[in-house]
Structure 1
Amino acid sequence: MLRPMGLDLTFEFSESGGKAGPSAAQPPAVTQVRLRREWIRYQDSEGKDVILDFARRRLIEVDEAARTYVDESLYPIVGFRHMELPNRDHIHSVITAGGGDASDFAPIMTEHHLSVLDPERKRTIDGVKPTGLGGRLRSVFSKPARSDITVESTQGHTVFSIAEGRRLFAYSEGGKSVEPDIARRFVQFLRYRFYGHPLILERLASEGSIPREIRQDACHPQGMPYSTVTLRLKAVDAVPETVMSLDGYRRVMTPRESPEIDSALERVTLGEVPNPEEVMARRMAEAEESAEAGRRLEMVLTLFELSLETGDKLPGFGEAIQRDPDVQVRRLVDALTRQPNNEAEARAQAATYVELREPAGRKAHVLGTFEATTRRLLRELDEARALLLKAIEGNPFLAGAYKDLGDLYLGGYEARLAWLCWEAARRLAPELSLVNDIRAWEERLATEHPEYF
């Protein structure tokens, strides 16, 4: 039985245009790509050593010098690109309405620069155009419909262009024949590292080979400037298939521009999480203490905190607070159960939460998670974020707050930070009902964009 083999590829990589300017070119550099059936390893645009672990659907960044690694979800990459597609379409429509040149934001260019296909548009791609007199005659008489992406065989290269003649991608014909799984992994490397139109990448994957040269119009999905990337294959080494291992490395978190959340995420992600039974015992003791002291609102918020920490729902809790005669508890229940129908009602609800902060006592941070929901309805996103961060400061193990904070970050297109918050929520309370929509979102991404996995 033949042992499965992987490939180590060495490329000469060059880029012109981009941040250096339209006429500038960076000197060629050597880059290596390791292709395995369950993972890929390469250097990203910032020179970071990246591993795409498809078995676990994780993005890993390795610091060889420090012997550390960052381990995050793969979903934020495709999640951001999926969300950005309609955003770019909106930009295109605005520029077009204003009479400007919207060609860089044309839908097909957006698909190319984000490497995400809009299925509603039903894009088409040519077969390779026939060569020779007989082939040209057949082409003239058959008059095939024009595709969105044209394909030509020119000087030993397969060239892909849009109808307006702008080249998107080209690769040399022939190349190194490889097994289908490895060909697919190579195309995934291109998709993650350099993007590219999905129909073009699908065509390349079907060739079952790694071209000697690739030339691509490239653009970082978070914006301009554009550049032209050229990859020239210099060496191909067949190696035994290996399991990706990080033994001897220490996991760390990437510092971000949100120091207020960094320490909490690091504590939850890398440290031990509280034992649910111990949390239950502690919160029940606190609730009893608050009740005996006559602090009814604080007691109720303590039991809500338990639910937001562990996902546990106390039997009869909802019915009990509905019957509680305490005035402050009644105001809280009314605010929680009455869905605002307009801005005035939402502002009145927010005002109620503000007025309840003092009687909430040491559980005001729990009350803040409810107020944050109302602030989001009012589009007061900075206020909502501040309230959730304050809640996590009061209790760094509040799973519900991490879930809501992740939603806010995703709305601001901070996808990687959103998934870190969501993963914190799932690690703390895997049974929390709020995390079900995270799973559903991931399942949708995997279903609509299987090429990323």
Structure 2
Amino acid sequence: MSRILKTCAAVALGWLPALAWLVATPAQADISLQLEVVRHVKAQPGASGVPGDSQTTLDVTLGDKTMTVTSTDTTTVYDFAARKRWVIDRRTKTRVDYSLYDTVGFRTYELRNRNTLGAALSAAKVGDAVMVQVDNEHNLSVQDKPSAPLRVTTEGANELFHAGPKLMFRRGAHLLPAKPGEARMFAQLLRYALGGHPQILSALAQADSIPAQFSLVAYDAVGSITQTVVIRHVHSNPVPAFDASAFPVRPASESGHPVDQALDRAAALTPDELLSARRRSKDELETALREGRALDAFLGMFEWSLMTGEAPTPLTADQKQLFQTNDAVRRVTVALSAKSKDDLAKAITDLTDIAKSTATKAHVLRIFEANNRAMLGDRKAAQKLFIDVLKTNPYIAGVYKDLGDSLFVEYDTPRAWRCWDSGRKMAPGFANFQAINQFETSLAARHPEFF
């Protein structure tokens, strides 16, 4: 889980300083900031593997509904109206598309996980209080339910936020004038890139200024982590609206992860290719029915529905008879009804055996096997099977749904949402994605600050 958090944070560090020559869309008034971030860890006694101090320079452009940030290798463009972010490889000038829902989706579930673990550690009286609710909210910038208000004090001209005896945030006296929209987008920068308790970010978003210097202090099992930020080189400048089409999607050959390879192939598919694949699937189904190949036709019906979200053409009486009298079809039906651990294991064996009887649709049986393995808890094996299926037919929207579900359980939310978005792009009305649509609606309603 911490690995995923680090990945999300790394993706968030980017700026696109020279986009104007790539796009020619109307410009909007933006402000550019340069942030110098110094990170220091004060370790608790006995802590090991403590990282040394580090310093990072972030160049940031804040627009009305967009934010652009750049690291040495990547540029990340956030579009809060579209609820998307585009990560651009500055070397290859290719992009990967992500959903902003993957960030809030991960953090809400990780918050509950940390709160539960923290409560268990507290009950067991294991060491000092760690993973307490307010620290989890501060580190993840998300709140599930109201907690005790932070205490706000002053120290000279500085403003300080405390949780009990812990200092969480120190705002310096020097403030840069800002319009409400600019202050809100500055708070978004911290929310996505550096962290900060929701109460602190809310105060920053509602201010008429941006602090020229501030410190965020977080607490975990290692000790305290202080990020001291100094803002330099603030200026307004017109920046063209981002046009994702100026950057081709990343080729699958450049991906080192098998899930990424499958998703990069999906991102490159065209509407014409999807239409051709659907026609081909329909033709194969009709041919199998005409030739009396019951198993291929039965599996072809499933494939069609999983590709389109639609039911196949109603069967004739003779076609129904063809299925009802075929032993392989009967065995598939039994395998699909498995629920218990023993029945699921037997179904996997049976599906492997049945695959020997199909001429063209063994990959559909692997979908069933993958879901059975997932229900048995063997998600890695299930994911490998889903990926194998997509190599054979990359147009099966339902497989992207199932693969995304499996990744989400592992807290790999960036890839999970890429899967779900790929499937919904292929079959927007597919009922299987209704739960994801509702989940996103719920996230947006409960955490509008992320958008």
Q: If the length of structure 1 is used for normalisation, what is the TM-score?
A: 0.83
The question of whether the paired residues in 2 share the 8 Å contact of 1:9 and 1:237 is answered with: yes
Q: Which amino acid aligns with 1:154?
A: E
Quickly say closer, same or farther: Cα 1:376–1:249, change in 2 above 3 A: closer
- Write the distance in 2 (CA, Å) between the matches of 1:288 and 1:450: 48
Offset, 1:29: 4.8
The question of whether the paired residues in 1 share the 8 Å contact of 2:274 and 2:395 is answered with: no
Tell me which residue corresponds to 2:348.
Answer: 350
Output one character per residue of 1:155-174: Cα deviation in whole Å (capped at 9) or x when no partner.
Answer: 221111111x1111111245
Q: 2:228 aligns with which of 212, 230, 240?
A: 230
Q: Which amino acid aligns with 1:33?
A: V
**Match status 1:25 vs 2:53:** yes
- Write the distance in 1 (CA, Å) between the matches of 2:213 and 2:373: 53
Tell me which residue corresponds to 1:205.
Answer: 205
Q: Which amino acid aligns with 1:282?
A: R
Offset, 1:229: 0.8
Q: Secondary structure at the match of 2:96?
A: strand
Q: Secondary structure at the match of 1:50?
A: strand
Most deviating of 194-203 and 291-300: 291-300
- Write the distance in 1 (CA, Å) between the matches of 2:204 and 2:94: 35
Q: Secondary structure at the match of 1:158?
A: strand
- Write the distance in 2 (CA, Å) between the matches of 1:43 and 1:277: 38
Output one character per residue of 1:66-92: Cα deviation in whole Å (capped at 9) or x when no partner.
Answer: 433333222211111111111112321
Offset, 1:39: 0.7
**Match status 1:313 vs 2:311:** yes
Quickly say closer, same or farther: Cα 1:348–1:251, change in 2 above 3 A: closer
Report matched runs for 1:36-435 at 5 Å. 36-43=63-70, 48-101=74-127, 103-119=129-145, 122-125=146-149, 149-163=150-164, 165-173=165-173, 175-218=175-218, 227-240=225-238, 242-245=240-243, 248-252=246-250, 257-259=256-258, 261-274=259-272, 278-317=276-315, 324-336=324-336, 338=337, 340=339, 342-435=340-433
Quickly say closer, same or farther: Cα 1:278–1:10, change in 2 above 3 A: closer
Tell me which residue corresponds to 1:138.
Answer: none
The question of whether the paired residues in 2 share the 8 Å contact of 1:158 and 1:171 is answered with: yes
The question of whether the paired residues in 1 share the 8 Å contact of 2:36 and 2:229 is answered with: yes
- RMSD of aligned alpha carbons: 3.0
Q: Which amino acid aligns with 2:37?
A: F
Q: Secondary structure at the match of 1:236?
A: strand
Q: Secondary structure at the match of 2:249?
A: strand
Offset, 1:201: 0.9
Offset, 1:321: 5.1
- Write the distance in 1 (CA, Å) between the matches of 2:193 and 2:280: 48
Quickly say closer, same or farther: Cα 1:421–1:172, change in 2 above 3 A: same
5+ residue gaps, structure 1: 126-148
Report the structure number with the largest CA radius of gyration: 1
- Write the distance in 2 (CA, Å) between the matches of 1:11 and 1:277: 48
Q: Secondary structure at the match of 1:405?
A: helix
Offset, 1:43: 3.2
Output one character per residue of 1:188-237: Cα deviation in whole Å (capped at 9) or x when no partner.
Answer: 000001111111111222222101211002489xx978631111122321
Q: Secondary structure at the match of 2:359?
A: helix
The question of whether the paired residues in 2 share the 8 Å contact of 1:85 and 1:114 is answered with: yes
Tell me which residue corresponds to 1:135.
Answer: none
The question of whether the paired residues in 1 share the 8 Å contact of 2:99 and 2:417 is answered with: yes
Q: Which amino acid aligns with 1:352?
A: D
Q: Secondary structure at the match of 2:360?
A: helix
Q: Which amino acid aligns with 1:405?
A: L
Quickly say closer, same or farther: Cα 1:296–1:109, change in 2 above 3 A: same
Q: Secondary structure at the match of 2:161?
A: strand
- Write the distance in 2 (CA, Å) between the matches of 1:330 and 1:23: 60
- Write the distance in 1 (CA, Å) between the matches of 2:324 and 2:230: 73
Tell me which residue corresponds to 1:134.
Answer: none
5+ residue gaps, structure 2: 1-26
- Write the distance in 1 (CA, Å) between the matches of 2:427 and 2:316: 20
Q: Secondary structure at the match of 1:251?
A: coil
